[in-house]
Structure 1
Amino acid sequence: MTNLLQEFEAWLFEDGASKNTVDRYVTVAKIFIEWHNQIMKSEAFDPVNVSGRDLNAWKKYLLEEATYQRGNEEPKRYSVSSVNNFVKSIRSFFRFLNENELIQSNPALKVKTQKIAADFDQDPRWLERFERNKLLRAVDDKNLEQKNRWKFTRNRAIVYVQLYAGLRVSEVTDLEPEDISFETGYLFVRDGKGGKARRIEMNKDLRMALTEWLAERGDPATKKLFTSSRGGTSLTKQGIEYLYRTLSEKTGIDDLTTHVPRHTLAHDLIETGYSLQRVADILGHTNLNYTRVYTKSSSQERREALESLSSIE
């Protein structure tokens, strides 16, 4: 199995996929292989033995039975969107097998993504105004600055670059000091989702936060902008996820993940009256439908509207 996954990984890189995409697709392929070996009661995986029925059974298992667990959290079921991403990943795996003549026909062509209503499992989580203020107070806490100015300026810059420039967590970890131009006022994302590059204007708060972080950053061995406190190595996605878990505990903000600041920026810009196209340009969306989701009311707003009816006599 190891050799097959290594070949799949190399094929994806040759196809121009980003490292994050490669990691995700290879992980999904491994999950499927382990599941298939289990139901076939086999220790060796042979893709020739995989049918479209097997793949649809796997999709059904993901939708109805499979769970995942992060740290000490309770196991959770996969969302429909996550299952659809699994299906897209496994299609790529079997396309690789087919193109390299490891199978004669592609059974994954018979597996469809799950159709979902526009409002089901699709609400992006953004911060309400009071939550946004809580987050900003937490990262601007001067007591933290006095305790450890290096970590204070780094963590504030990470939150600001997502909240004021809308970067994805993978784009944050990929940033290098050379991607920041204080002369022109731009921040450059050189390899965004789908291999798209873009430049984003920095507001004064973001410029200040990045200026202060660069003054504290020092001269680590890594080229990456954000570094770990342990040996000056590049800060990982997991390191940023840990930062947001810590901030969630400190502020009491539920579901504060690395996606939330980006969603908050998009929602706030649209609420302020900026056009979908302008927001899409900032976020790096080529399809306006991806941006349109931020024009919807939130689940909380819809709940409040429906609850208001219960008081009508």
Structure 2
Amino acid sequence: MSAAPAPRGSPGGAAIDRWIDEFLSYVEFEKGLSQNTIAAYRRDLNLWREFCRAEGRIPRRATPDDVTDFLERLRAGRHPASKPFAPSSAARALVALRSFYRFAVGEEHVATDPTATVGSPKRPKAIPKAISLEEVERLIASPSDEKLGLRDRAILETLYGSGLRISELVGLDVDDLDLDEGSVLVRSGKGGKGRRVPVGRQARRAVERYLTGVRADLNKRSKRSSRGALFLNARGQRLSRQGCWKILKGYAGVAGLERQVSPHTLRHSFATHMLDAGADIRVVQELLGHASLSTTQVYTLVSDRRLREVYMSSHPRARA
């Protein structure tokens, strides 16, 4: 005769502790997950265990409502062992629970997965942060006229002037440039799609100075071929993403920019300033290499100043 099931409100023994340990060993040694991911899983599963014990829920009989209640409490800061969770953190906790219960079902610890029908917490659409035109001018003016300074100014001008992703910038080759036409072929965009984008006069001038007086010297410093990379580091190798980040961070400090600036900040600023000046959103979409217009439409949220200007100048009764 089988043992009677534990009534609701009972913690169900120490089984949950053993299952969590088994699961964490599984994802470490068989799935090969990183220590950071394992530590995050451990924290989230411990919160779930404490929630079940405090609320009299039984982990092996958990329902979708139990999981939803748990996530809502995390987000609202009503879990006694945790501060309020951001939507991204709550989504991560659900991933941990989902992985745990799939493992538990496979090991026949539980009959069903209570997370199967629970949707991920909605994350608010992040509004891109742009810097002002005056701040862009200060940033681009920061590099010196020394060799690496000329390279760095060309990098900043190209990032802002063409709205490139950092991966696209460091992936550029010299042969991708057409300075006579004033364009560059971007080959490394998302989805493997190439596109040709304009290079403005200021960026062309900066790149020409770099190519004429700097790149050849940098290229001689490397024992290995840079394979035609446009932007080289001080050792003559293709500039890395991390190197580009470091360059930009340094000049943001020189320019006295108070907010945090990344290569993507210049891409955001490119799009925002274009829309503020009246550019068609579909043109901006093509320049940015967005597959979906909805991705580009995020930038319209930060261009309300332009919206008001157009309204005030266009509506017959706006200034009456």
Alpha-carbon offset, residue 134 of structure 1: 1.5
Q: Is the 8 A contact 1:87 1:113 kept in 2?
A: no
The 1-side partners of 2:271 and 2:136 are apart by 13
The 2-side partners of 1:63 and 1:232 are apart by 52
Per the alignment, do residues 137 and 107 of structure 1 end up closer, same or farther by CA in structure 2, a change over 3 Å counting? farther
- Tell me if 1:124 matches 2:131: no
Per the alignment, do residues 62 and 132 of structure 1 end up closer, same or farther by CA in structure 2, a change over 3 Å counting? same
Q: Is the 8 A contact 1:186 1:199 kept in 2?
A: yes
Per the alignment, do residues 293 and 84 of structure 1 end up closer, same or farther by CA in structure 2, a change over 3 Å counting? farther
SS of structure 1 residue aligned to 2:142:
helix
In the alignment, which of 182, 185, 207 is matched to residue 210 of structure 1? 207
Superposition pairs of residues 4-23 of structure 1, within 5 angstroms: 4-5=31-32
Alpha-carbon offset, residue 296 of structure 1: 2.1
TM-score of the superposed pair, with normalisation by structure 2: 0.60
2:36 corresponds to:
31
In the alignment, which of 294, 312, 316 is matched to residue 289 of structure 1? 294
SS of structure 2 residue aligned to 1:127:
coil
2:169 corresponds to:
172
- Tell me if 1:250 matches 2:254: yes
The 2-side partners of 1:107 and 1:197 are apart by 44
Cα deviation 1:44-79 (Å, max 9, x = unaligned): xxxxxxx999x9989998997xxxxxxxxxxxx996
The 2-side partners of 1:300 and 1:87 are apart by 38
2:183 corresponds to:
186
Q: Is the 8 A contact 2:128 2:302 kept in 1?
A: no
Alpha-carbon offset, residue 284 of structure 1: 0.6
The 2-side partners of 1:40 and 1:266 are apart by 41
Q: Which protein is bigger by CA-based radius of gyration?
A: 2
2:197 corresponds to:
200
1:274 corresponds to:
279
Per the alignment, do residues 212 and 78 of structure 1 end up closer, same or farther by CA in structure 2, a change over 3 Å counting? farther
Per the alignment, do residues 201 and 106 of structure 1 end up closer, same or farther by CA in structure 2, a change over 3 Å counting? farther
The 2-side partners of 1:171 and 1:234 are apart by 12
Q: What's the C-alpha RMSD, in Å, of the aligned pairs?
A: 4.3
Unaligned runs of 5+ in 2: 1-27, 47-61, 78-83, 307-320
The 2-side partners of 1:299 and 1:248 are apart by 26
SS of structure 2 residue aligned to 1:259:
helix
Structure 2 letter corresponding to 1:197: G
The 2-side partners of 1:262 and 1:204 are apart by 18
Q: Is the 8 A contact 2:129 2:268 kept in 1?
A: yes
Q: Is the 8 A contact 1:87 1:111 kept in 2?
A: no
TM-score of the superposed pair, with normalisation by structure 1: 0.61
1:18 corresponds to:
none
In the alignment, which of 134, 137, 154 is matched to residue 138 of structure 2? 134
Structure 2 letter corresponding to 1:217: R
Per the alignment, do residues 116 and 3 of structure 1 end up closer, same or farther by CA in structure 2, a change over 3 Å counting? closer
Structure 1 letter corresponding to 2:231: F
Structure 1 letter corresponding to 2:226: T
The 2-side partners of 1:182 and 1:125 are apart by 30
- Greater shift, 262-271 or 211-220, is seen at 211-220
Per the alignment, do residues 292 and 237 of structure 1 end up closer, same or farther by CA in structure 2, a change over 3 Å counting? same
2:122 corresponds to:
115
- Tell me if 1:263 matches 2:261: no
Structure 2 letter corresponding to 1:203: G
The 2-side partners of 1:78 and 1:248 are apart by 31
The 1-side partners of 2:117 and 2:196 are apart by 40
The 2-side partners of 1:177 and 1:235 are apart by 13
Alpha-carbon offset, residue 277 of structure 1: 0.3
Alpha-carbon offset, residue 225 of structure 1: 2.0
Unaligned runs of 5+ in 1: 6-25, 42-50, 65-76, 302-313
The 2-side partners of 1:170 and 1:59 are apart by 37
